[in-house]
Amino acid sequence: MSNKLKIGILISGQGSNLQALIDACEQPDFPAEIVLVISNVKNAKGIEIAINANIPCFIIDHKKYINRENFEAVMTERLSEAKVELVCLAGFMRLLSKKFIKLWFNRLINIHPSLLPAFKGLNVHVRAIDAGAKFSGCTVHFVRKHMDNGPIIAQSVVPVHDDDTSNELAERILKQEHRLYPSVVRWFAEDRVKIQGERVVVTGIDHPETTVTNPSPAL
């Protein structure tokens, strides 16, 4: 029996972060394994990714349930049957109820393509560019009852270029998402993620000393 952390992943779309987590879990020294993937969208591309990786995958179409609670009850049943210890949202486009979040409290994480608490919600890259932000990035955080809220575990920062399109910025950030999410899952599996109130401390890591300015200052 494996002693690796058992993770379940909830998806709604392309599954690129799912693929990044699959790639990480395939490394022999990675301390977590994906035991279940759930999609609420029947034609999500991520389903094919899970099947190709021989990971059990369930389509639980939220439209077939009379309310959110019934939909989430089926998800919880599947997650519990698989003995999931950590639930990772990876492009899961449904708001979760207080009951579900409480059930998986501090065992439910999400990745968002901005530097929270800035630019919550949708269309974040357009909004960052329109706001004149010089930096954007991605955030992995614990899920709480409000959308894109909760204790921040880690962030990756990328510069916003003056001539960026939203797609170019999104692509640059997505590369960092694929690096950051597996790192956070590793820390969680190694019991290095500690919550103090609503603040997260990760033990055994180095903090960067470099300061980055955009645009770079003249010499």
**Contact (CB, 8 A) for 44 and 12:** yes
ω into residue 215 within 30 of 0, thus cis?
yes
Distance between CA atoms of residues 216 and 219, nearest Å: 9
Q: Which of 112, 125, 141, 178 is catalytic?
A: 112
**Contact (CB, 8 A) for 108 and 84:** no
Tell me the β-bridge partners of 32: 5
Helices (H), strands (E): how many in the chain? 6, 9
Torsion of CA 171, 173, 178, 183, to 10 degrees: 170
Give yes or no: 207 in active site.
Answer: no
Q: Which residues are catalytic?
A: 112
